[in-house]
Homo-oligomer: A and B are copies of this chain.
Amino acid sequence: MKLQNIKIVMVGSTHPGNIGAAARVMNNMCFSHLTLVDPQCPIGETAYARASGANAILDNRENCSELTQAIADCSLVVAASARHRSLPWPELSPTELADKLTSMDDSSRVALVFGREHSGLLNEEIQLCNQMVCIPANPEFSSLNLASAIQVLCYEIYSHQNDAPPPGKQPEAHDLPAPSSEVEGYFEHLQRVLLSSGYLDPDQPGLIMQRLRRLYLRSELTRNEINILRGMLTAIEKHQP
């Protein structure tokens, strides 16, 4: 589904810094639709400072007095809430939520609903939602900052959408792992230098060489790196008596 069709709904927020921080998080994670239900603070300088440039999200926010109004056009409404409530509502993990959203139709509209800083969502507000999503946390200290909770969910959803990452810059040929023949050429050269310097026992070079192979093979040496390593060996050989 499209991230623009997922609303972040903040109910009764009391701190303008959290609203601004939420706008920044949303912009970082490619969300754009912020809805404030009955905010308890002005959206001014503090909010814009914490938004760090995500002004458009604050400017274009939707304002509602009631949660019902905010979610009216949404076919899936998910409440972000702590676990172990008196209300046994169906519960998703953030990953399950992201899986679910990824499989939804492009035209679907979804609301993720976040409650008040100190008291969360009321039971009757949760009962307007299809499901709850619960962020795993320290059972002794489980209350996340509001913008942090929005960060975790937006990150999970954004990174799920992007699991097939756009093709990055292709590495140059010399930055690709070298073919085995070149790596073996390096090992032969290394063994020669270590024998002539007296480090390897000519009768038993095996165990040390095996460990060195393990180290360098694990690194998946590039052609460039092979060139540097062989250059080093050549310089050392020339410098030997």
User: Using Cβ atoms and an 8 Å threshold, which residues of chain B touch A228?
Assistant: 208, 211-212
User: Using Cβ atoms and an 8 Å threshold, which residues of chain B touch A24?
Assistant: 144-145, 148
Instruction: Flag whether A173 is at the interface (Cβ < 8 A).
Output: no
Complexed CA–CA distance, A28 and B30 (Å) = 25
User: Using Cβ atoms and an 8 Å threshold, which residues of chain B touch A138?
Assistant: 27-30
Instruction: Flag whether A176 is at the interface (Cβ < 8 A).
Output: no
Q: A151-B151, A162-B136 in contact; A28/B143 too (CB < 8 A)?
A: yes
Instruction: Flag whether A224 is at the interface (Cβ < 8 A).
Output: yes
**14 A-B residue contacts at CB 8 Å?**
A21-B145, A24-B148, A28-B144, A52-B143, A52-B145, A93-B159, A136-B159, A151-B151, A151-B152, A197-B232, A215-B225, A219-B219, A240-B240, A241-B241
Chain B residue at smallest Cβ distance from A155: B152
User: Using Cβ atoms and an 8 Å threshold, which residues of chain B touch A145?
Assistant: 21, 24-25, 52, 147
Are B239 and A197 in contact, with the CB atoms below 8 A? yes
Are B88 and A141 in contact, with the CB atoms below 8 A? no
Instruction: Flag whether A113 is at the interface (Cβ < 8 A).
Output: no
Instruction: Flag whether A70 is at the interface (Cβ < 8 A).
Output: no
What is the minimal beta-carbon distance from A148 to any residue of chain B, in angstroms?
5
One complex includes copies of this chain to the number of 2
Are A137 and B236 in contact, with the CB atoms below 8 A? no
What is the minimal beta-carbon distance from A185 to any residue of chain B, in angstroms?
17
Are B28 and A232 in contact, with the CB atoms below 8 A? no
User: Using Cβ atoms and an 8 Å threshold, which residues of chain B touch A212?
Assistant: 228
- Counting contact residues on chain A (CB < 8 A from B), the size range is 35 or more
Report which of B53, B147, B175 forms a contact with A141, defined as CB distance below 8 A: B53
Tell me the A129-187 residues at the B interface (CB within 8 Å): 135-138, 141-145, 147-148, 151-152, 155, 158-159, 162, 165, 175
Are B211 and A225 in contact, with the CB atoms below 8 A? yes
Q: Per-position contact with B for A186-224: 1 when CB-CB < 8 Å, else 0?
A: 000000011011110000000010011001101101001
Report which of B93, B137, B199, B236 forms a contact with A197, defined as CB distance below 8 A: B236
What is the minimal beta-carbon distance from A18 to any residue of chain B, in angstroms?
11
Are A197 and B235 in contact, with the CB atoms below 8 A? yes
Complexed CA–CA distance, A145 and B151 (Å) = 10
Are B198 and A235 in contact, with the CB atoms below 8 A? yes
